[in-house]
Amino acid sequence: MQRQWLFVTMVSVGLVGAAFAAEARALRGAHARAPQAARPSTADGDDEGAVETAPTKGGALAATGFVPEAPYRAALVLDRDSGQVLFAKNEHLRWPPASMTKMMTLLITMERVRDKAIGLDDMVAASAWASKIGGSQVYLREGERFPLRELLKAIVVASANDGAVAVAEYVAGSTDAFVALMNQRAQELGLAESEFHSVHGLPPSRGQQPDLMSAADLAVVARKLAEFPEVMEWAALSEAPFRDGQLQMRNTNHLVRTYAGADGLKTGYYAAAGFEVTATATRDGLRLLAVVLGVPTKKGCFDEAAKLLTSGFAGYRTVQAAKAGQPVGGAITVSGGSVPSLTGIAAGDLRVTVPRAEASDVKIETTMPPTISAPIKKGQVVGAVIARRGDQQLGKVNVVAPQDVESTSWLHGWF
C-alpha cells in the first residue's frame, strides 16, 4: 500500500529533483575532505528524523536478504548497546547532516543538565535572532520565555531551529560560542569526520561552510544521546503540544508512527544534503540504531532505514548475560570478616548480539573464588561474567562486592 508522506514546512517538490541532482554534485566524492559549500536553500532540515565486540563490516546483513534500493550516500546499522556494526556502506563519508546537527546541540545541553550546570526547569528567553531564524520552528517571539525542557522537546520532535538557537544562546551566551563547544566535544568523542558551523544544520549561506558528519560519527552521538531517558521519551512521541497547546508539534520522524518498535531519534533534510534519518528501534530486547544519509526522496529515506532495522532484527538477537546491580553466581565465603559470606553483583550490563543461528552457541561463564578475605570494600572486584562463543570471548563484565565487609581479625588493627 502506498504511504502518504507529509511536509511540516512548505518546500517545493522540485527541490528534490533537479535541484538535488545539481547541488549534490558539489558533495560527491567527499570522503575525508570538506565539499564545496552547498548553495543556500529555502528548505530546512526536516520539512514536515560496556560490551566490547569486534565490528562486522560490509555485508553482514546479506544473509538476511538486505538489498538497498534507494540511492543513499551512506548507511549504517548497529547494536545501540554495544556499538557492534551489523551493516555499513560509506560510513566514513563526510556529508551534511542537515538538522541532525541538532543532535550535538542536544548532547551538549543534556550533559550540562546531567552535571547540574543548568536545569530542565530553567526559563530560557528567545532572542531577536532566534525569532528570525526560519525553517522548521515553533515560532518563538523575541523575549518569549519557556522552560528549557520544552525547548529541547521542540528541537527533538519538531526540529525547531528557533529552539536550537535559543538553547545555544542560553548555554554558551552566543551561537558562535556554542559552535566552539560542539567542535570541542566532537574532538573529545573522537569524531574525526565531523565539523560544525551552526547549531541547527540549516543550509549554509553564501560564504559559509556546511556542517559535516559521517554516518559513523552520527551513530556515536546518537548512542550518547540515548543515555538520557528524557531525550528518548521525547524522541518516541508522535505528537506533542507547545505553548499550552496552541501549537501541536508532529514528529518529523515518521518511523515512530509507522515502524513497530521505533523510539527515535532525529531527521534531517535540505536540497543538497538529501533526506536523512538517525533511527532507533527496540524489539525483544535488541536495540538497534540505523543512519541513512543523502536520499533523494523522503519515502526512500524512511523505507531504507526501516529495511536496515528489519534486517537487523531478523538476522540478530541479543543474549543478556548479566544485568547491572543484579546478583551473580552463588555465595562467596568471607574469611575473617564481619559476615560469613557475600554474593557479588554485576558492575554493569553484559549484552552480546549475535546472528540468530548462533545464539544457542553462546555460553555464559562466571569466574569467582570460593573464598575471599576481609576487609572488603564496596565495589571491589571479586570476579567476572564472560560471554563466549567457542574460543571467542564476546564480552566481559566485572562482578563486585555489594557492600563493605570489615575484618574481625585482631591483626587488622595493627596494620
Range 377-386, long-range pairs (CB < 8 A, 24+ positions)? 377/401, 377/404, 378/402, 378/403, 378/404, 379/347, 381/347, 382/332, 382/342, 382/344, 383/328, 383/329, 383/332, 383/344, 385/321, 385/322, 385/328, 385/346, 385/350
- The whole-number pLDDT of residue 71 equals 85
Between the CA of residue 212 and those of 72, 78, 389, what are the distances in Å?
16, 21, 39
Domains of the chain: 13-319 (3.40.710.10), 323-414 (2.60.410.10)
Query: Cβ distance 74 to 49 under 8 Å?
Result: no
pLDDT along the chain (415 residues), means of 10: 34 33 35 32 39 34 52 95 93 97 98 98 98 96 98 98 98 98 98 98 93 98 98 98 96 98 97 96 95 95 96 94 94 95 95 91 95 96 96 95 88 49
Sequence-ordered list of residues with C-beta below 8 angstroms from that of 105, at least 6 positions apart, any chain = 155, 164, 167, 168, 178, 182, 199, 200
Contact 202, 135 (CB under 8 A): yes
pLDDT of residue 44: 45
* Alpha carbons 35 and 293: distance in angstroms, whole number: 15
User: How many other C-beta atoms can be found within 10 angstroms of the C-beta atom of residue 19?
Assistant: 17
Q: 350: which strand partners?
A: 322
- pLDDT at position 51 is 26
pLDDT confidence of residue 171:
98
Grid cell in block for residue 396: 566481559
Residue 102 Cα to chain centre, angstroms: 12
First-to-last alpha carbon distance for the chain, in angstroms, is: 77
Burial (CB count <10 Å: 0-12, 13-18, 19+), residue 247: middle
| Cβ-count burial 80-96 (b if 16+ within 10 Å, e if not) | bbbbbbbbbbbbebbbb
pLDDT value at residue 38: 32
Residues 289, 294, 300: CA angle, nearest 5 degrees:
75
